Every structure is written in structure tokens, then in C-alpha cells.
Amino acid sequence: MDSPATPPISARISRRGALLSADPPLLRLHFLAGGHIGSELCLPQLAALVRLVRQKGEAVTQPAMIGDGADVRMVDATIEPDADGLCLTLHHWDRLLSPPDILALEDAEFDYARLEADGAWRTDAQLLIVRMAAGIDKDLGFLPSTARGNPFSRIFRLLPDATGDMPFLAALANQAAFESQPAELIASNNAPVLLSGKSLRDATGHFAGLVGYVRLVRPAYDATPSSRALSDIDRVLTDRLEPALRAPIGRVIAHADALALRTDGPLREDYVRYAEDIAGAARHMLGLVDDLANVNAIEQPNFTISTEPLDLLDIARRAAGLLAVRALERKVTISLPNGQLRVAGDYGRVLQILVNLIANAIRYTPEGGQIRLEAAVRADLLGISVVDEGKGIAPDQHERVFQKFVRLEGDAKGGSGLGLYISRTLARAMGGDILLESDVGQGARFTLMLHADGEGA
């Protein structure tokens, strides 16, 4: 209980999340952070709790760290919805923290050494993120505070494992532990990660959320002795340039996204647009880093791909699902194939190729247009065609579009000019190929062909 010398600090918040009134100590911190009466709370942890309550419609009580510079406090925050909005009450206002206390609080809940983790996370019973470890930005270029209050699915995109299952969903259904769930960290340019975690239960034994770890999936290279040593430029790219670029660019993306989302308080609309432009440009740069790393890997003399039986049409449907939001933004529909098509290939590489082909089709198909995914049979090969309604490609340019760094004249929409080169190189490494049929004004048909199951290279 609060003593008479430290009465609770109160505030009123509207249904839309705007601060209506507050006791002087809290109001002072809000003003110092750039807020005003009528703006969203400018204290990140309290603002995240407000968003949680607005989404859930239920009262929440959690510790929160707030303050200004050296004046940092650990309070117990209770936020309750009522007919007029939200009532915020802060207890233990006199609980000042010294810098060592603050550092301990950041890391006390998580053991980074376990599972060689790069970070950690926690959700509530509604699978809303309530905690992410500060150490996660070290390797992933990700600002943890941007995650709080967001649905788990907005932070991580789950992918099937090698067997086609999703350990996370099975563990959630059984309220059990899980490991090695493949996923992508959406806020870090879809960086591949592995998730592990377990269910939490409250004092009554009911499901109270999940807590877990996240580990960055770093590219693995074939350790078979090469017929030639890596060149100096290979070593610079692999060992120094890629890691040196990835982390700072990731941080630019994270901080720009945080500004655009107004995570730390109100921001003028023109600055929001600037932040969105910065994040978009940084994502383009990070994509180029990824492409260069892929090129460096596939051009090594010892680069090989092991194949296994796959359902090509199922992977095509999954690839389309990963790009559903992008297609929706451009009002483009994707018609999906039914049935199965058994081929020999590597799941991750086939998915990478199809994501690239479908993303290109979305980029070039006019708004309101349609993309068709169709099964294909050519001699002893089976395949999947991605057919768009774009401006088409002249026959004398067909081979050129598969070359490195090529963007056709007048192409203002293209990326690094490496995607098709990487995709065809991967397809050929699996014993297949990518074929192109197109003419000016007639759209384009890119077809990934692979050997039928059991006949691969």
C-alpha cells in the first residue's frame, strides 16, 4: 500500500488514447517529453499499456519504468476502462531507481546465453507483446519498444518447418513448450529467425501468455574444401562488409519505424512521412545487402544444394500467402493452383525463388490486375508459372533480365537487379531452370522448372 507521504498519481485518458488530465508529477514528465493535453501519453511504457487496455478492453496492472534522465522511477501502473475512457493510477511514485538498478531491470528476466539467443520476448494471454529484451537490437537492428502492445503476428511471421509443421501453433494449442519455430522478424526486413518458448500460467492455473527466445538464422556455407580460396573481396563481403552494414541499417529502419508509429509520443504528419521515406530507403539498402550476400554465396565453387521431395504447388501457395498484404495494397488478386506437384528441390530455396517471382509480378501488374499461378509440364520437368499483366519484355531482352545488376531501360520500379540472377542460379543448382515467355504489351510468364520427385540432380 502507498504511505500517506506517497499518494497514488492519477490521470484520465480518452477512449481514443488522448491524455485528458493528470496529477502534476505525471503531467510534468508528459510535458517534458513533448506532449500536451489532448495528445497520446509521451512515456513509452505507459503508452504501451494504454494501447493494451484499449485493445483488450480489460484492466491491466503492471510495473512500468518512467522518468526523465536521472529521475527514473519504477511504479506499479493500473489502467482500468470505464464508460468515459480509461483511468490510470500509479502507485509507489517514491520508488526511484539508480542507473545500476535500471540496467538490471532490462536484462533480469532473460538469460541471453540460453539457446545462444539474440533476444527474448513475452506475450500476454491475448498474444499481445508486453516485453521484449533490449539486447535484441544488437544483432537484428530492432528497437524493442516498438513491439510492445502489438500482436505477436505483427512482429513475427511464422513459417512451416522442414516437415511442414508449425511448432508454435501446436504448443499454443497444448499450452506446452516449443523449439525451432522458423519465422521472420517483420520489423527487421523479414530477417529469418528461430523461436523457442513456453506457456505461462497465472496463480489460478489459467493460460497467461508465452515467454521465449529468438535466435537469428545466420547463413550457413558448405564447409567442403574449395578448389580455390576465397578472394579478398569475398572475405571482405562475407566477414566484414555484410555484418557492418546490416546492423546499422537495421537500426535506421527500427528508429524510423518507431518515429512513424509515434511510439515515443506525438509527431507532426510531415515528419511521419519523412520517417516512412527513411525506413523505405533503408529497407531497399538492406535488401541490396541481402542480395549481395546471396550472390557471394552462390558464386563460390563449392556451392551445392541438397534436394528432397517437395510439393511445388503447396510452396507456391505459401509464397503467395507471404505476399498477400503487398498484393492487397496494390489491389492485385492472385489466383492459386489446386492439387499437388511432386518435385525434387530444397524447400527454403524454392520458397525464396517463388517469393521473388511473385513479388516481381505484383510490382509490375497494374492496380486492379490479376496474377495467375499455374502448373506447368515441360519434357521431364515439372513447374509452376507466375503470369503477370505487366508491360511485358521484348524477346531480345529475355536473356538480359537474368544477368547481374540489369534493370531494363525505363524500369523505375525495379530493385537491385540481382533477384532474377539469384533465382535462376538457385534453380539450376537444383537441376532445374527458370524460363521466360513474354513480349511487349503482353505481360510476362516466368516458370520455375524442377525435376519430378526422385529424378533430381
Amino acid identity at 58? E
Query: 264 and 384 in one domain?
Result: no
Query: 443 and 326 in one domain?
Result: yes
- Of the residues 158, 191, 216, the one at which a domain ends: 216
Query: 319 and 447 in one domain?
Result: yes
Query: 125 and 95 in one domain?
Result: no
Q: pLDDT digit string (tens) for 249-262?
A: 767 777 777 777 76
**What pLDDT sits at residue 361?**
92
Q: Which of 216, 280, 214 is nearest to 247 (CA)?
A: 216
Instruction: Write the CATH number for 431.
Output: 3.30.565.10
Query: 445 and 315 in one domain?
Result: yes
Residue 320 φ/ψ, nearest 5 degrees: -65, -40
Q: pLDDT digit string (tens) for 298-332?
A: 777 777 788 888 999 989 988 888 788 788 888 89
Question: Counting runs of H as helices and runs of E as strands, what totals does the chain give?
Answer: 13, 19
**What pLDDT sits at residue 71?**
61
Residue 293 lies in a domain: yes
Mean local confidence (pLDDT), 177-183: 87
| Cβ contact 447:398 at 8 Å | no
Q: pLDDT digit string (tens) for 358-412?
A: 989 998 999 999 999 999 988 778 999 999 999 999 888 888 888 876 666 555 4
**What pLDDT sits at residue 437?**
92
Give the range of the structural domain holding residue 316, as residue numbers without chain letter.
Answer: 308-451
Instruction: Report residue 186 as a C-alpha cell.
Output: 517483420
Q: How far apart are CA 181 and CA 168, in angstroms?
A: 6
DSSP string, 69-96: TTEEEEEEEEEEEETTEEEEEEE-TT-E
Query: 143 and 252 in one domain?
Result: no
pTM: 0.47
Q: What is the mean pLDDT of the chain?
A: 76
In a 10 Å sphere around its CB, with 0-12 CB exposed, 13-18 middle and 19+ buried, how is residue 124 labelled?
buried
Query: 113 and 83 in one domain?
Result: no
Residue 211 lies in a domain: yes
Query: 432 and 317 in one domain?
Result: yes
Residue 188 has pLDDT above 60, yes or no: yes
Query: 265 and 188 in one domain?
Result: no
Out of 232-236, 374-378, 423-427, which region has the weakest mean confidence (pLDDT)? 232-236
**What pLDDT sits at residue 351?**
87
**What pLDDT sits at residue 155?**
81
Confidence of residue 51 (pLDDT cuts 50, 70, 90): confident
Confidence of residue 223 (pLDDT cuts 50, 70, 90): very low
Q: For residue 310, what is the DSSP state?
A: E
**What pLDDT sits at residue 224?**
41
- Of the residues 58, 78, 102, the one at which a domain ends: 102
Residues with Cβ < 8 Å from 159, sequence gap 6 or more? 166, 182, 183, 184, 318
